[in-house]
Amino acid sequence: MRAAEQAVIASGVPEYDLMERAGAAAAEIVWRAGGSRDVLVLCGPGNNGGDGFVIARILRAKGVPVRVAALGESRTASSLRARAAWAGPVEPLQDAQPAGQLVDALFGTGLTRGLDPQAATELGRLVDLASHSYAIDLPSGVETDSGALLSPVPRFGVGIALGAWKPAHLLYPAAGRMERLQCAEIGVAAPSDVGRLAPPSLHPPAGDEHKYSRGLVAVVGGEMAGASLLASHAAARSGAGMVRRMAAAMETGGPDAIVTIGAQTAAEVERALDDRRLAAVLAGPGLGRDDRARERLNIVLQSGHPLVLDADALNILSEGGAGPLPAGAILTPHEAEFTRLFGDRSGSKIDRALEAARRSRCIVVYKGADTVIAAPDGRARIASHASSWLSTAGTGDVLAGLVAGRLAVTRDALRAACEAVWLHGEAARRAGAAFIADDLIERLPGAIARRL
């Protein structure tokens, strides 16, 4: 975003014009949400504070009662100009009385260290006492590129991103400090390989498709049947043409549309995977970690099919039990699995996911409240603000099955991972509160229909 802004400025647009655009766009959002409720704008010393002065001026011109409190003097040319144009009183932050609406324009992308304790406490108090609160560009106190909290940060109603999403809008803990997100357009295009996960465009099957052309998925089960059943069921509702579950024991369950193949011995697994029509093979959910599980995983790794590896498959791989990571596969680790596989690395979650994808030459779906999907070529997508009810048993198995299903449909690993993560989040949104993993699967057809 900084590079994009600099390019616009170099093309002859003064920085102050960008500040006016940013302030006007943010003021419009505040006006639409809060109407004529009184507003307190907190302005910092840099350009974020400058945006605040522009917002204050525009809201006052609409007849909104506005007060401004500043943290020190303005220190940049544009913010000095915005402050002069405000032409109203400016009180010190420590004397500010609360208002119905609070606009935080203390610090944005220029923050280099935490707020001093008194300023952080004042900010927290004023946000808590307001019924509507807005963080301009970012909540003051968050680190832009990592989403870390450099000092205590209150929870805002709306985070207003200026021009483009920054990592802190999407990565926790910062993302959890904004109930809703809105992006204010300021006429600066910031194309990037890293971005927020967008809703996918899906297509119904062509009129002349059949079950194999639509995608044949195999799910290699193991010692715990439930997990592979959930994954198989999710794959079956993902739009794929057919799902075969390779069961490690004589067991039944799940919809009749899923073909269960008894594959208890290594030879039986090998035979079951010897089918050139297979478009995706999933291993991991319920696989187990004993010698038998290793043997089953080895056969999967040597099958030559497009792979999705989750759960115990990742645990076995992290113990080095199955050799190097299979390039081209989709890996779906949660936090603990990721650390076991790739070590405890520094950098933001996006940096870590990209580095892992580059090293393993795999698509890495680094799961969590802020799932990051990273490709070896440097592309990454971040899915944030999913339902917190997803933190329940079995939802990972559902996601793994969904990834395998979309891989079979699209034959494109990054696209499949992105579609699956979005559909999983949408199914959760539709399932509402206190759902179980099985309920998510029932919501998948509706989630898919929405994107056709």
Ligand X SMILES: NC(=O)C1=CN([C@@H]2O[C@H](COP(=O)(O)OP(=O)(O)OC[C@H]3O[C@@H](n4cnc5c(N)ncnc54)[C@H](OP(=O)(O)O)[C@@H]3O)[C@@H](O)[C@H]2O)[C@@H](O)CC1
Residues that bind K ion (CB under 5 A): 104, 136, 140
The closest alpha carbon to 37, from 66, 68, 69, belongs to 66
Nearer to ligand X, 15 or 275 (CB): 15
Residue 179 CA, chain-centre distance (Å), reads 15
Binding partner selected for residue 45 from ligand X, K ion, none, CB under the kind-specific 5 to 8 Å limit: ligand X
Q: Does 112 bind ligand X (CB under 6 A)?
A: yes
- At its nearest, how many Å lie between ligand X and the CB of residue 159? 12
36 and 64 Cβ atoms separated by less than 8 Å: yes
Nearer to ligand X, 26 or 420 (CB): 26
Q: Looking at 15-23, 297-305, 339-347, 417-425, which segment touches ligand X (CB under 6 A)?
A: 15-23
Residue 368 among known ligand-binding residues: yes
Say which residue the tokens 């707020």 belong to: 115
Nearer to K ion, 58 or 243 (CB): 58
295 and 266 Cβ atoms separated by less than 8 Å: yes
- At its nearest, how many Å lie between ligand X and the CB of residue 179? 20
Q: Does 375 bind ligand X (CB under 6 A)?
A: no
b/e string for 259-296 if b means 16 or more Cβ within 10 A?
Answer: ebeebeeeebbeebbeeeebbbbbbbbbbbbeebbbeb
- At its nearest, how many Å lie between ligand X and the CB of residue 75? 5
Nearer to ligand X, 50 or 139 (CB): 50
- DSSP state, 388? G
First to last CA, the chain: 32
- At its nearest, how many Å lie between K ion and the CB of residue 140? 4
Q: Which residues pair with 372 in a beta bridge?
A: 366, 382
The closest alpha carbon to 243, from 261, 223, 267, 268, belongs to 261
Residue 187 among known ligand-binding residues: no
Per-residue string for binding with ligand X, 143-172, x by CB under 6 A? -------------------x----------
Nearer to K ion, 98 or 205 (CB): 98
Q: Of residues 33-72, which lie at the interface with ligand X (CB under 6 A)?
A: 44-51
Give the whole-angstrom CA distance, residue 75 versus residue 58: 22
The contacts of residue 402 (CB under 8 Å, 6+ apart) are 234, 235, 238, 420, 423, 424, 444
Q: Which residues bind ligand X (CB under 6 A)?
A: 5, 15, 18-19, 22, 44-51, 75-76, 107-115, 136-137, 162, 186
Enumerate the known binding-site residues: 227, 286, 334, 367-371, 396-397
